[in-house]
Amino acid sequence: MRDVALVGVPLDLGSGRRGTDMGPSALRYAQLQAELESLGYRVTDLGNVSFPVVERLEEGDPRARYADAIVRVCEEVDRAVTAALRQGALPVVLGGDHSLSLGSVAAVIRDRPETGLLWLDAHGDFNTPETSPSGNVHGMVLACLVGLGLPPLVRVGGFGPKLAPQHCALVGTRQLDPGERELLRSSGVRVFTMKDVDRYGVGEVVQRALDAVTDGGKRPLHVSLDLDVVDPAHAPGVATPCAGGLSYREVHLAMELVADSGTLLCMDVVEVNPILDAQNRTARLATGLVASALGKRIF
């Protein structure tokens, strides 16, 4: 029996709107633990990392808002995920905005430096303080992981960069800021936009991405799933919705292919915003997607 550890990160400092701090509660309310236990996993909920009172924080540099506080939260995420990995569990990190991945990826790479990263997101998350039009850190995370950006963010966990660009693949992208588009083009990160999904099909695109970042299944895999990769028709409760995303079945197929790869080491589920949701629909979808990534099958 495989162990799964749930780690809640009630973080919304990296986003331009409040609400993703309630994402972990919404996912728990959607019966995530029971769903995974029904698949035969032994699930331990480690609770939430501590989180500061937003109203008592200084925003700091407007080019990277709340960066200092985000670093502190992500260091806690790093410690929690590290503890879970050392106990032999597969961590599922419940967000919270995408900034939390600075901590979860730090833990995974320290434990297994050869790990590849699959990043499913409507956005590139490849801004730096110089290119970001908003200063929102959740739009800088992937750049930080490959060594670009504000040094304290790059060095969460005490080291950086975390990954070589060729070990990262971005899938489902359809909205990029001008500066991050240029950075991505020159970065070496593999980018599969919705045009690629439309042209080749989601199965082909996700398999190419998985093969690239895991070297054909030889490397372990970290999946970072931003629910805004899904079309808002199916996932309305996200911080930054963007039309034209993956359908219900397409995103489930993506997660089923992750399960088929047999390489999953850790998973982030981020940007669920219950304030913007309808009857917890997005968290219920997210619960099903985690189950698919961990092996739930139709037949």
If you ran DSSP here, which 8-state letter would residue 12 be given? -
Neighbours of 146 (CB within 10 A): 23
Of 12, 21, 35, 138, catalytic: 138
Per annotation, catalytic residue among 12, 78, 97, 125: 125
Of 226, 231, 256, 268, which residue is the catalytic one?
226
Residues 6+ apart with CB under 8 A from 69: 13, 52, 57
Tokens for 75? 């260091």
Let me know if 196 is a catalytic residue.
no
For the question of residue 268 being annotated catalytic, the response is: no
Report the alpha-carbon distance of residue 211 to residue 209 in Å, rounded. Answer: 6
Whether 226 sits among the annotated catalytic residues: the reply is yes
Of 228, 231, 256, 268, which one is the catalytic site residue? Answer: 228
Annotated catalytic, 167?
no
Catalytic residue selected from 35, 231, 271, 277 = 271
The catalytically annotated residue of 35, 78, 98, 277 is 98
Asked about 252 being catalytic, the answer comes back as: no
CA distance 146 to 157: 14
Catalytic residue among 21, 35, 97, 121: 121
Task: Judge contact between 73 and 14, C-beta under 8 A.
Answer: no
The answer to whether the CB of 247 falls within 8 A of the CB of 260 is no
**Is position 138 annotated as part of the catalytic site?**
yes
Active site members: 98, 121, 123, 125, 138, 226, 228, 271
